[in-house]
């Protein structure tokens, strides 16, 4: 199938009003906040060199923090703030999505606005300042009538830079729950849907370019005192904002939000759940690409209504347990513990997505390795790769200590790439996921864990506190419980990792339902 006629373009296009609208909304709010804070600061410290230098240094430091890290940082920060306001004033706010994204992006926008604001105000001919004083202006009148208008072109150039930065960085706000054009990129990367990745990059680049050109028109209009240009640019910006915001404003927000973490299985399952809810007459939408802890906190706060997590993950990350219990016992204990936080553990989906050490079948056979215990004798000469969190998780420590693993090297990798990496021999062993379809595709083998060092990772459905008594929801989800076996999930995951029209999570979810729904 040619790239042009690929139906995934159509699917991508259908998300555009939602993604673009949200992207513009959060960028606009961040830029507005950035301006409201930065411009007064620039005015206040224009004649105070010490304050000015401190402020610019701080803004520069913020700028050196990678955009993704800055966004990720605001989430726990706001969670903390929300718990403080809850304790002191009895009100909490959502630390999820819009607010942390807007605050982080606003902070990000401050440097160019501050720097150009100060440069613009300090660059004014002193003779004109004296003239302003001489004709009888007060300092405030001089600022409003002379200094600000004269500094405006330089300030506008800073606003323009800030706008382009914010629009670009806003694509990174997807993992903290803010829908943006980044949804295309994150989903596309996870499911190897390059059409989505391309579409997302293209859309955000076009948006940034359009805004840059229009603000540029305003800037040169101000610089050359050409009212026509300034007006054209202003009208263009207003039209752009209206065109991107209006379609997303008109939509009523669906009642149920299904969360999904950042990997293909989660995209497929959230699409499946959304479709099941819709079939039961419960309008639903997905909020995908959430960080692992973000998803849980978002559920607790009611920002998402339900999502699929894994028993072992919650056992370690939320209950902070390092001991290991048999599957059923662990789930029962988890259920009780989650109930204390008013979170409903509705049930298991029927398959497990556990961490497992994985290596090529031929290599394992050649070395006589069947289990992790066999592997231990060889680790000094081998390298291991895993996703970004594995090596900092308690399971790794448990596994390493139980078997005395000491690898020559350990590397972190994007999960999608590590299977290919181990198949090609670039690394010797990976910490893969048992439900991953690529294990079969690349003829890899999962090593046994005779000491049960890795806890069970049953896929479980969690409901937000506010949905605890929602019987219609529970009834709609019932057909999914205990129905999805590991073979189906592997096959679904393999399909989702393909790079063709049938690999989109929506299509795979429909395929999965056809298999599961018949049971």
Partner 1 sequence: MASKPVIGYAQVAKNFGSVVAVNGVSLDVAEGEFLAIVGGSGSGKTTLLRLTNRLIEADRGTITVEGEDISHVDPVALRRRIGYVFQSGGLFPHLSVTDNIGITPKLLGIPEKEIAARVDELLDLVRLDRTQHRDRLPQDLSGGQRQRVGVARALAARPRIVLMDEPFGALDPLTRDALGEDYRALHHKLRLTTVMITHDMTEAILLADRIAVMRAGKLLAQGTPAELGRSDDAYVLELLRTPRRQVARLNERLPQGGAA
Rounded CA gap, 441 and 495, in Å? 11
Name every residue whose Cβ is closer than 8 Å to that of residue 280 and which is 6 or more positions away in sequence. Answer: 472, 475, 476
Taking the complex as a whole, how short is the minimal distance between the CB of residue 146 and partner 1, in angstroms?
A: 6
Rounded CA gap, 253 and 477, in Å? 21
Q: Which is nearer to partner 1, 147 or 303 (CB)?
A: 147
Q: Which is nearer to partner 1, 145 or 421 (CB)?
A: 145
DSSP 303-318: SSSEEEEEHHHHHHHT
Structure tokens at 511: 């395929």
Taking the complex as a whole, how short is the minimal distance between the CB of residue 221 and partner 1, in angstroms?
A: 12
Structure tokens at 309: 């997590």
Q: Which is nearer to partner 1, 146 or 422 (CB)?
A: 146
Q: Which is nearer to partner 1, 125 or 323 (CB)?
A: 125
Taking the complex as a whole, how short is the minimal distance between the CB of residue 133 and partner 1, in angstroms?
A: 6
Taking the complex as a whole, how short is the minimal distance between the CB of residue 141 and partner 1, in angstroms?
A: 7
Positions in the binding site for partner 1 (CB under 8 A): 127-128, 130-138, 141, 145-146, 149-150, 225
Taking the complex as a whole, how short is the minimal distance between the CB of residue 140 and partner 1, in angstroms?
A: 11
Q: Which is nearer to partner 1, 150 or 460 (CB)?
A: 150
Collapsing DSSP to helix, strand or coil, 412 comes out as strand
Q: Give yes or no for a contact between 318 and 335, defined as CB atoms under 8 angstroms apart.
A: no
Among 390, 389, 319, 309, smallest CA distance to 352 is for 309
Q: Which is nearer to partner 1, 131 or 468 (CB)?
A: 131
Taking the complex as a whole, how short is the minimal distance between the CB of residue 150 and partner 1, in angstroms?
A: 6
- Taking each helix axis from N to C end, the angle separating 194-223 and 182-190, rounded to the nearest 10 degrees, works out to 160
Among 485, 371, 491, 385, smallest CA distance to 441 is for 491
Q: Which is nearer to partner 1, 224 or 412 (CB)?
A: 224
| CA distance readout (Å), 215 to 20, 232, 260, 340 | 19, 10, 37, 52
Taking the complex as a whole, how short is the minimal distance between the CB of residue 131 and partner 1, in angstroms?
A: 3
């Amino acid at each position: 199938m040619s790239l042009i006629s690929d139906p995934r373009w159509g699917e991508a296009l259908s998300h555009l009003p939602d993604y673009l609208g949200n992207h513009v909304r959060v960028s606009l709010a961040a830029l507005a906040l950035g301006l409201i804070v930065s411009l007064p600061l620039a005015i206040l410290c224009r004649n105070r060199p010490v304050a000015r230098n401190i402020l610019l240094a701080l803004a520069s430091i913020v700028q050196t923090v990678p955009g993704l890290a800055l966004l990720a940082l605001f989430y726990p920060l706001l969670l903390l703030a929300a718990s403080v306001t809850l304790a002191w004033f009895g009100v909490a706010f959502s630390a999820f999505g819009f607010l942390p994204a807007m605050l982080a992006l606003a902070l990000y926008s401050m440097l160019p606005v501050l720097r150009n604001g100060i440069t613009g105000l300090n660059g004014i001919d002193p003779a004109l300042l004296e003239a302003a004083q001489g004709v009888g202006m007060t300092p405030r009148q001089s600022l409003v009538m002379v200094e600000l208008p004269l500094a405006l072109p330089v300030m506008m150039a800073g606003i323009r830079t800030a706008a382009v930065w914010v629009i670009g960085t806003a694509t990174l706000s997807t993992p903290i729950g803010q829908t943006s054009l980044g949804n295309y990129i994150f989903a596309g990367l996870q499911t190897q849907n390059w059409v989505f990745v391309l579409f997302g990059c293209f859309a955000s680049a076009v948006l940034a370019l359009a805004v840059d050109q229009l603000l540029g028109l305003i800037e040169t209009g101000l610089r050359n005192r050409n009212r026509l240009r300034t007006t054209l640019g202003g009208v263009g910006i207003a039209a752009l904002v209206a065109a991107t915001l209006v379609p997303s404003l008109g939509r009523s927000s669906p009642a149920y939000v299904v969360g999904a973490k950042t990997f293909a299985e989660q995209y497929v399952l959230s699409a499946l759940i959304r479709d099941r809810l819709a079939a039961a007459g419960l309008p639903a939408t997905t909020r995908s690409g959430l960080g692992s802890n973000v998803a849980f906190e978002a559920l607790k706060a009611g920002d998402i209504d339900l999502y699929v997590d894994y028993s072992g993950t919650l056992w370690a990350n939320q209950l902070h347990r390092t001991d290991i219990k048999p599957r059923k016992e662990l789930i029962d204990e988890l259920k009780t513990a989650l109930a204390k936080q008013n979170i409903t553990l509705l049930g298991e989906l029927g398959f497990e997505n556990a961490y497992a050490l994985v290596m090529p079948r031929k290599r394992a056979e050649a070395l006589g390795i069947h289990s992790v215990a066999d592997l231990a004798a060889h680790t000094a000469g081998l390298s291991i790769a895993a996703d970004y969190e594995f090596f900092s998780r308690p399971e790794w420590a448990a596994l390493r200590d139980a078997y005395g693993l000491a690898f020559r090297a350990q590397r972190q990798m994007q999960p999608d790439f590590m299977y290919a990496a181990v198949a090609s021999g670039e690394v010797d062993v990976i910490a893969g996921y048992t439900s991953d379809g690529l294990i079969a595709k690349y003829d890899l083998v999962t090593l046994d864990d005779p000491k049960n060092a890795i806890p069970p990772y049953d896929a479980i459905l969690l409901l937000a506190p506010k949905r605890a008594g929602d019987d219609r929801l529970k009834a709609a989800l019932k057909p999914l419980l205990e129905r999805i076996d590991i073979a189906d999930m592997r096959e679904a995951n393999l399909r989702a990792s393909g790079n063709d029209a049938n690999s989109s999570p929506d299509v795979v979810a429909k395929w999965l339902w056809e298999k599961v729904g018949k049971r």
